[in-house]
Amino acid sequence: MSIEAVQAAYGRRATEYVELFGSIDAASDVDRAQIREWAGQVEGRIIDVGCGPGQWTAWLHELGCDVEGIDPTPAFVNEARRRHPRLSFSIGRAEELGAADVSLGGVLAWYSLIHTDPREIDVALTEFARCVRPGGHLALGFFTGPRIESFDHAVTTAYFWPVDALAGVVESVGFQVLSTSTRHDPGVRPHGLITALRRAGA
């Protein structure tokens, strides 16, 4: 699944997506609590990768974080700028953050890699490692399952990851995994969260 195909798929359903998920209130209390705790450890600028219409970016800003959002879908970036004109949003992708080496305090990748081919996910994670300073943080939200496999997501093909398998890739590019958690609420796919610290000298 190319980035152009994902971009086009979300562009076609941008209005529907914004209506369903464009408010931070659509996120579970558990998710917000976990990301609040994560953000409280971050010192320095955060990039919200795959920010969509900017709900997490704006919420992190309200928590006092120095944060900006990037997304490959122009319709999302335009909506984020309309909703949150004082914040910074730009068209970008996980594989090319446009940030200098070791310049970030953290990266939030909230379901932004779910459509990435598992054979290529290390490209995005390596880019995160390049940009995050030693001691900086990563939070990665994803769909979890017993094996790496694709499924028919409402927008376009996505992938399940076993927690240990994805954590292994995160470790391999220069992060130290700090915590993992999973949750399976009724009526939704199982959710996973990995938090990690950028290792020095990796």
Q: How far is CA 110 from CA 54, 199, 202, in A?
A: 12, 21, 24
| pTM given for the model | 0.89
* Residues whose CB falls within 8 Å of the CB of residue 85, separated by 6 or more in sequence, listed in order: none
pLDDT at residue number 186: 81
Whole-number pLDDT of residue 30: 92
**Token duo for residue 4:** 């152009």
Q: What is the pLDDT of residue 151?
A: 84
What is the residue extent of each domain of the chain?
3-198
Pick out the chain residues at pLDDT < 50: none
Does the domain at 3-198 match CATH 3.40.50.720? Answer given as: no
pLDDT tens-place string over residues 25-49? 888 899 999 999 999 999 999 999 9
53 vs 84: CA distance, rounded Å: 9
pLDDT of residue 134: 98
CA distances to 44, 142, 162 from 38, in Å: 13, 16, 21
